[in-house]
C-alpha cells in the first residue's frame, strides 16, 4: 500500500505560552488516536509548537484505508423464528444492523450479519480526524472572534493541510486549507509556501521561524549559558520559565542587560522573583551564588541595533526593582517584632484566633520541642514569636513568595542571632515533596511547632481533610514533620509534643481524644512513604502495632524489620509468632511473668528456655541502643529451638500448672520480638 507524508498546521494569534507545549502534545495525541481508529498505519510522527502555530507531521501515512469485514452474531434461530414467522428479536437485530431481515444470514445456528466495508481514501478521513483532535484539546475556556461562531483558544488565521504534495481540501475553524503558512511577523511578514510536509521546518526556518519547540528550547538554554559564562556567572534557568520563554518567541535571540548595582542591597530573592515572574528574565549569579547586576532577556527579533532592545528592557525593569527597594527600606524603618501588632487584627482561623495568637502558640511549642531535639529553647521561642511578622510587611504584601525570606533579612537587620533569622524562613520547610529541610535546630523546632499547631487546631475544630479537600494542607504538614524528624535524625516524642500543643488551645478545641487522632493521622502518612520506597505494607503494620511515639524510632524499626525479612529464618519465625500470638490470645486468665523450670517435663522446653535467656541478655543492650537490625538478627537464632519445641511439646497440657508455665515461656519468646515489632503480622 502506498504512503505519503501528512502535515497539518493551524495558524493562530499568539497562543497561551504556559499551555503551548501541552497543547501541541495533545494535538498530536488526538490525531494519532484518529488514525489508529481508522486503521491507518504510519512510520513516524512529530509535533511542532510555536507562538502562532500548532503543527503535526505524520511520516509515511497510508493513503488508503484498508477494506474491513464485520460479522455480528444475532439471536439463536429458535428465538428468531416462531412457527416460521420472525420474532421481535429477529426484527430488532435487522433494524440494529440497518438492513432488511432478508439480508441477514439465516444458515447457521444464529442469525449473522456480515458486511464488507471498502476502505476510504485517507484524504477524505483527515479533516474529521484533525477537527476531532482540535475539539478535544485541553482548553479550559474557548473564545469566539469577529462574526464567526467557531470557538478556539485563540482566533485562527490560516490552515495548512498537505498529504504528499497535494492540499487536503477542507475548512476547519473558519480556515480553508492550503499550502501557505506565515513567517516571522517582522523578519518575513509574507506568506510562506510549504513545498512538501518533509520540508516544513526548513521552509519556515528561511522565514525566520523555528517551528520545533525542542530546538528553540535548546538554543535558548545553550546561548543563555554561553552569555552567562561571558559575564563570569551562571544563569538561573527554572525549567518552567525556560518553557514559557520558549513559547513566547519564534526566533529567539538572548541578550545581556544590566541594572544599577544599588538594587543589590535589596534581598536578591525579591529581585529574582520580580525579574522571573513579571519580566521572564534569566537572572545571573556569581560563583558564590550572589546576584549579579545583569540579566538575560530573550528577544523575538534579530535587531540590527540590539542596544535598543537592551535599553528598552533595562528601562522596563527599573520601576519594578525600584518598588522592591522602596518596600525593603520602608519595612526596615521599624523593628520586625513590631509587625506583630498588625497581626493581632489578622484572623488565622475564625475559631482559633489571630495570626498573632498562632505565633504565640508556635513560640511556646517550639521552646518545648527545641531542647528535646538538642536545640536552644530560648532561641526557638524567640524565632516562633517572630515567625509570622513578615506577613504584615510591605515586601511580602507585594511579593508573597518572600514570606520567610523577608523575615530572615529583617531579623538580621535587627541584630537577631543567625539561627533565629534563618528559622523565620525554615519554618515553611519542606515546601513540597523532596524539597529542602531546615538546616538549623532552631528552624527545625519552629517548623515542627508550626505544623503541629496547625494540625492540632484544625483537627480540634473538626475540619478534617477529605479525599478531595485539604484546604489547610494538613497532609503536607504531617509529611513535613515526619521528613524533618526522620531525615535529620531528630528523636522527638511526638506524643508529648502533640499533647503540649493541645493544651495550648484550651477551650478552643475539643481536647478529648484529639492527641490520639492527630498522631494517628501523622503516622498514617508513613504508610504511603514506605510504599513509595518499596517497603511492604506488612513491615509498616508490624511496627505500627507497637505505636512508637518517635518518628525516628519508627523508621529505625521499619528498616530493621525490612532487613530481617531477607533472612532465611524470617518466614518461619513470623509464622511461629503468629501461632504464639493466637495461643496467647486464647489463654484463660492472666499469663504469669515468671517461667518455672520445675514444671518442664521435656528437654526441648529446657533448650528453648535457655535460648530465650541468652537471647534476652544479648538483645537488651541492643534494644537500649536502638540497634534493631542487630537485635532481630540475633533473635533469628531462636528458630531451631523454637521449631524443636513445637514439634515435641503440647502447649495445652492437661496439667494446669504445666500449661500455664508453657504459656509464660511463649510470652517471654513473643516479648523478645515485640521489643522491635509485631513479627506475627509478617506472616
Give 531-546 pLDDT, tens digit per residue: 988 999 999 999 999 9
If one compares 186 and 71, the residue with the highest pLDDT of the two is 186
**How far apart are the C-alpha atoms of 600 and 655, rounded to whole Å?**
12
Strands ordered across the beta sheet of 291-299: 234-235, 282-285, 291-299, 253-258
Reported as a single tens digit per residue, the pLDDT across 488-513 is: 999 999 999 999 999 999 999 999 99
At residue 169, the pLDDT reads 94
Q: Domains in the chain and their CATH numbers?
A: 3-65+121-205 (3.30.70.260), 79-115 (no CATH), 219-331 (no CATH), 337-534 (1.10.3210), 562-682 (1.10.730)
At residue 236, the pLDDT reads 97
Give the burial class of 287: count Cβ atoms within 10 A of its Cβ; 0-12 exposed, 13-18 middle, 19 or more buried. Answer: exposed
Reported as a single tens digit per residue, the pLDDT across 320-370 is: 999 999 999 999 999 999 999 999 999 999 999 999 999 999 999 999 999
β-bridge mates for residue 143, sequence order: 152
DSSP category for residue 536: -
Reported as a single tens digit per residue, the pLDDT across 43-90 is: 999 999 999 999 999 999 999 988 877 788 888 988 888 888 888 988
Reported as a single tens digit per residue, the pLDDT across 257-299 is: 999 999 999 999 999 999 999 999 999 999 999 999 999 999 9
**How far apart are the C-alpha atoms of 612 and 293, rounded to whole Å?**
71
Contact 367, 380 (CB under 8 A): yes
**How far apart are the C-alpha atoms of 430 and 446, rounded to whole Å?**
12
Contact 194, 200 (CB under 8 A): yes
Q: Residue range 429-449: average pLDDT?
A: 94
At residue 592, the pLDDT reads 78
At residue 652, the pLDDT reads 83
At residue 303, the pLDDT reads 92
At residue 1, the pLDDT reads 58
In 3D space, the residue among 487, 490, 495 whose CA is nearest the CA of residue 546 turns out to be: 495
At residue 683, the pLDDT reads 64
The grid coordinates listed for 174 are 473558519
At residue 316, the pLDDT reads 95
Buried b (16+ CB within 10 A) or exposed e, 157-179: bbbbbbbbeebbebebbbbebbb
Contact 675, 576 (CB under 8 A): no
**How far apart are the C-alpha atoms of 366 and 450, rounded to whole Å?**
8
pTM of the full structure? 0.80
Please determine, for residue 113, whether its predicted confidence score (pLDDT) is greater than 90.
no
Strands ordered across the beta sheet of 44-50: 44-50, 53-62, 3-12, 156-163, 166-167
At residue 101, the pLDDT reads 82
In 3D space, the residue among 52, 25, 55 whose CA is nearest the CA of residue 249 turns out to be: 52
**How far apart are the C-alpha atoms of 196 and 179, rounded to whole Å?**
9
Identify the weakest region by mean pLDDT among 81-90, 282-291, 404-413, 417-426.
81-90
Of the chain, the percentage scoring pLDDT greater than 90 comes to 70
Q: What is the 3-state secondary structure (H, E, C) of 85-102?
A: EECHHHHHHHHHHCCCHH
At residue 8, the pLDDT reads 97
Backbone angles phi, psi at 472, to 5 degrees: -100, 15
Of the chain, the percentage scoring pLDDT greater than 70 comes to 99
Q: Residue range 657-672: average pLDDT?
A: 86
222 contact partners, CB below 8 Å, separation of at least 6: none
Average pLDDT of the chain? 92
Amino acid at each position: 500500500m502506498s504512503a505519503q507524508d501528512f502535515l497539518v498546521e493551524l495558524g493562530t494569534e499568539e497562543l497561551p505560552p504556559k499551555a503551548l507545549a501541552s497543547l501541541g502534545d495533545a494535538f498530536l495525541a488526538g490525531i494519532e488516536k484518529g488514525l489508529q481508529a481508522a486503521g491507518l498505519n504510519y512510520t513516524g510522527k512529530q509535533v511542532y509548537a510555536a507562538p502562532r502555530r500548532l503543527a503535526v507531521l505524520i511520516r509515511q501515512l497510508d493513503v488508503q484505508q484498508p477494506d474491513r469485514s464485520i460479522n455480528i452474531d444475532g439471536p439463536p434461530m429458535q428465538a428468531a423464528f416462531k412457527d416460521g414467522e420472525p420474532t421481535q428479536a429477529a426484527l430488532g437485530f435487522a433494524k440494529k444492523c440497518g438492513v432488511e431481515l432478508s439480508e441477514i444470514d439465516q444458515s447457521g445456528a444464529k442469525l449473522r450479519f456480515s458486511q464488507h466495508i471498502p476502505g476510504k481514501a485517507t484524504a477524505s478521513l483527515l479533516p474529521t480526524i484533525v477537527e476531532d483532535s482540535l475539539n478535544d484539546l485541553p482548553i479550559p475556556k474557548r473564545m469566539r472572534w469577529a462574526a464567526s461562531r467557531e470557538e478556539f483558544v485563540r482566533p485562527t488565521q490560516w490552515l495548512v493541510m498537505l498529504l504528499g504534495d497535494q492540499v487536503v481540501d477542507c475548512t476547519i475553524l473558519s480556515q480553508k486549507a492550503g499550502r501557505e503558512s506565515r513567517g516571522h511577523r517582522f523578519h518575513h511578514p509574507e506568506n510562506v509556501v510549504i513545498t512538501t510536509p518533509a520540508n516544513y521546518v526548513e521552509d519556515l526556518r528561511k522565514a525566520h521561524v523555528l517551528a520545533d519547540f525542542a530546538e528553540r528550547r535548546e538554543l535558548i538554554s545553550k546561548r543563555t549559558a554561553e552569555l552567562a559564562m561571558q559575564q563570569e556567572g551562571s544563569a538561573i534557568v527554572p525549567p518552567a520559565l525556560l518553557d514559557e520563554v520558549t513559547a513566547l518567541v519564534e526566533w529567539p535571540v538572548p541578550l545581556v542587560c544590566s541594572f544599577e548595582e544599588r538594587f543589590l542591597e535589596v534581598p536578591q530573592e525579591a529581585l529574582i522573583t520580580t525579574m522571573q515572574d513579571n519580566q521572564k528574565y534569566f537572572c545571573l549569579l556569581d560563583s558564590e551564588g550572589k546576584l549579579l547586576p545583569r540579566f538575560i532577556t530573550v528577544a523575538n527579533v534579530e535587531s540590527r541595533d540590539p542596544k535598543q532592545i537592551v535599553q528598552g528592557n533595562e528601562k522596563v525593569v527599573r520601576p519594578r526593582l525600584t518598588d522592591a527597594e522602596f518596600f525593603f527600606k520602608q519595612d526596615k524603618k521599624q523593628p520586625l517584632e513590631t509587625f506583630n501588632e498588625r497581626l493581632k487584627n489578622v484572623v488565622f482561623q475564625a475559631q482559633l484566633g489571630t495570626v498573632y495568637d498562632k505565633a504565640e502558640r508556635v513560640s511556646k511549642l517550639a521552646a518545648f520541642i527545641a531542647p528535646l531535639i538538642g536545640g536552644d529553647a530560648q532561641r526557638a521561642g524567640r524565632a516562633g514569636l517572630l515567625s509570622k511578622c513578615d506577613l504584615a510587611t510591605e515586601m511580602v504584601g507585594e511579593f508573597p513568595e518572600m514570606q520567610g525570606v523577608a523575615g530572615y533579612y529583617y531579623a538580621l537587620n535587627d541584630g537577631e542571632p543567625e539561627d533565629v533569622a534563618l528559622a523565620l524562613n525554615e519554618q515553611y520547610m519542606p515546601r513540597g515533596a523532596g524539597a529542602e529541610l531546615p538546616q538549623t535546630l532552631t528552624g527545625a523546632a519552629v517548623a515542627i511547632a508550626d505544623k503541629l499547631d496547625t494540625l492540632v487546631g484544625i483537627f480540634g475544630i473538626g475540619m478534617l481533610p477529605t479525599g478531595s479537600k485539604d484546604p489547610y494542607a494538613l497532609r503536607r504538614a504531617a509529611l513535613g514533620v515526619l521528613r524533618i524528624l526522620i531525615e535529620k535524625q531528630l528523636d522527638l516524642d511526638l506524643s508529648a509534643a502533640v499533647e503540649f500543643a493541645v493544651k495550648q488551645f484550651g477551650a478552643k478545641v475539643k481536647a478529648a481524644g484529639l492527641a490520639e487522632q492527630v498522631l494517628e493521622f501523622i503516622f498514617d502518612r508513613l504508610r504511603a512513604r514506605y510504599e513509595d520506597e518499596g517497603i511492604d505494607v506488612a513491615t509498616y503494620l508490624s511496627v505500627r502495632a507497637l505505636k512508637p511515639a518517635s518518628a525516628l524510632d519508627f523508621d529505625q524499626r521499619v528498616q530493621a524489620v525490612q532487613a530481617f525479612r531477607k533472612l532465611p529464618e524470617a518466614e518461619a519465625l513470623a509464622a511461629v509468632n503468629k501461632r504464639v500470638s493466637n495461643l496467647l490470645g486464647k489463654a484463660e486468665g492472666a499469663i504469669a511473668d515468671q517461667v518455672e523450670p520445675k514444671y518442664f517435663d521435656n528437654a526441648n522446653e529446657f533448650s528453648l528456655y535457655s535460648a530465650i535467656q541468652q537471647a534476652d541478655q544479648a538483645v537488651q543492650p541492643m534494644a537500649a541502643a536502638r540497634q534493631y537490625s542487630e537485635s532481630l538478627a540475633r533473635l533469628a537464632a531462636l528458630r531451631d529451638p523454637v521449631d524443636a519445641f513445637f514439634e515435641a511439646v503440647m502447649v495445652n497440657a492437661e496439667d494446669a500448672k504445666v500449661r500455664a508455665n508453657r504459656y509464660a515461656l511463649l510470652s517471654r519468646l513473643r516479648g523478645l520480638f515485640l521489643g522491635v515489632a509485631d513479627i506475627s503480622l509478617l506472616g
